[in-house]
A and B are shown apart, each in its own frame.
Chain A
């Protein structure tokens, strides 16, 4: 019992018999039973429409499962109170499939959002954000607004926003969908670096080339279930 508790705590994410359905439709995810240990790196693969985005949405608390139990950082999210959720979400960095950048904010302000929400000082914002933008190759676009950026540039802004707060868990939904393979590899190395610093990482992708070039375990989604790769 005590050992099981320790194990749950060491798992950043744990799914117990989780299922998802939209409205009255069929369950698009079924009997999900897996754990992501702290410090692990996983690819989440499967054909388009397999439910990769839906699975990630469950983890970043955008959606409740229709069945089962999800533990996030050891906290059972099905019993957590609503006011506890923002603090949990702040420990998760998300690169959304459609980026979800705020068009009225500059690159700098978009990337600074997680810091400001967490109550960081403007001094810290000025210190950390330009550095990171430099790192992802956007130093020249600090004051640009998303509509003026290319797809690949937007993607890098989205990634910078996801990692600026040094999250314990990083979720990336098709983060390399809009960039060529060389840039994709650079982004993967960025995730790799973060993972080495202790961040647990999940990258959803259907880019087989990318997955095969990196030696990380996979979660394969097929017909609503996870088949270990």
Chain B
């Protein structure tokens, strides 16, 4: 569609001046939103791996005398295991034996026989199924409600909460990208409509000397493709510093879970494709606008 000669007046036409500047901010906004989606998606992926695998449930020792306490704690452990194993996404829950506990605590408390007399909390080793689809926030609430003294690994629960929040933001960003696409095509559509009014004489003459609708529409479309692409490139130029800025900024940040804020390859491809999509969108909407105007002529 690009190239070839044009019968349209290119110079004295305001569309040429403003269409790229309408498209550029749209592409900028979509690119930033899209980059956000991809970065967030990578982050969520890494957090997902963190919460996948195994997790630990701690059950505080029940109050009371040693024997009685041990008895009650055992009851709670059974109850917790029951709940855990009936939760979809959990493969297996198993209590650590007294010996294992003592071995775990030995570095801090020494391995005295006294340790065996202490009311130790019980630890459950929970194995998750591969796909990590357990809602830890819900599980923590359920455990805390039904089993006194039970608590889920705090860090994991918090991370899980973050994942749900991020997913919501991710969908919001996708909605923003779609919305911007719709607004951009509407803008191009009306801009082309204005150009049709300006070029009415040209269109009529071409039409009357026998140009087919496709010939006339093609001329407007290739112009819109060019202008849309130009706007897309401008928008992209504005976006790149922002994306690099995020990557450089997070390099300075310490801490594990924000380490991966650079745009993944798929994201780069999507963002670099945006000017092409803007050009295509501009071309198609221009074509539609021209056909609509021509349909009113005999």
Contact = CB atoms under 8 A, between A and B. Distances in A.
Interface of A: 60-64, 83, 85-90, 92, 94, 100, 102-105, 109, 113-114, 116-118, 161
Interface string B263-286: 000000000000000000000000
Given A61-B298, A104-B11, A116-B7, A90 B201 contact: no
A161 B206 CA distance: 12
Given A89-B209, A94-B208, A114-B210, A100 B215 contact: no
Contacts, number: 57
Interface in B152-208: 201-202, 204-206, 208
B254 interface: no
Contacts of B5: 116
A60 B298 contact: no
Closest CB pairs A-B (n = 9): A90-B210, A104-B9, A89-B210, A86-B212, A117-B211, A86-B210, A100-B205, A114-B209, A102-B202
Contacts of A114: 209-210
B211 to A, nearest CB: 5
B137 to A, nearest CB: 62
A117 B209 contact: yes
B209 A62 contact: no
Interface string B208-221: 11111101000000
Nearest to B212: A86
A113 B12 contact: no
Interface residues of B, number: 20
The residue in B11, B12, B206 that gathers the most chain A C-beta atoms within 10 A of its C-beta is B206
Nearest to A99: B205
A85 B9 contact: no
19 contacts: A61-B208, A64-B298, A86-B210, A86-B211, A86-B212, A89-B208, A89-B210, A90-B210, A94-B208, A94-B209, A100-B201, A102-B202, A104-B10, A104-B11, A104-B12, A105-B7, A113-B206, A114-B210, A118-B210
Nearest to A91: B210
Contacts of A161: 209
Interface of B: 5, 7-12, 201-202, 204-206, 208-213, 215, 298
Given A62-B208, A100-B208, A102-B9, 17 more contacts: A64-B298, A86-B212, A86-B213, A88-B210, A89-B208, A89-B209, A90-B209, A102-B7, A102-B202, A103-B9, A105-B7, A109-B7, A114-B209, A117-B206, A117-B209, A118-B210, A161-B209
Given A63-B298, A64-B298, A85-B298, A113 B7 contact: yes
A88 B211 CA distance: 11
B115 to A, nearest CB: 93
Contact of B215 (A89, A92, A103, A117): A117
A103 to B, nearest CB: 8
Nearest to B9: A104
B205 A62 contact: no
Contacts of B212: 83, 86
B230 to A, nearest CB: 21
Nearest to A100: B205
B263 to A, nearest CB: 44
Contacts of A118: 210
A99 to B, nearest CB: 10
A113 B208 CA distance: 11
A113 B11 contact: no
Contacts of B202: 102, 104
A206 B132 CA distance: 90
Contacts of A105: 7
A61 to B, nearest CB: 6
Nearest to B12: A104
A88 B5 CA distance: 24
A80 B15 CA distance: 36
Given A63-B298, A64-B298, A113-B7, A102 B211 contact: no
A104 B16 CA distance: 15
Contacts of B206: 113, 117
Contacts of A113: 7, 205-206, 209
A109 B201 CA distance: 16
Contacts of A94: 208-209
Contacts of B298: 61-64, 85
Contact of A60 (B8, B9, B10, B208): B208
Nearest to B204: A100
Contacts of B10: 104
Nearest to A93: B209
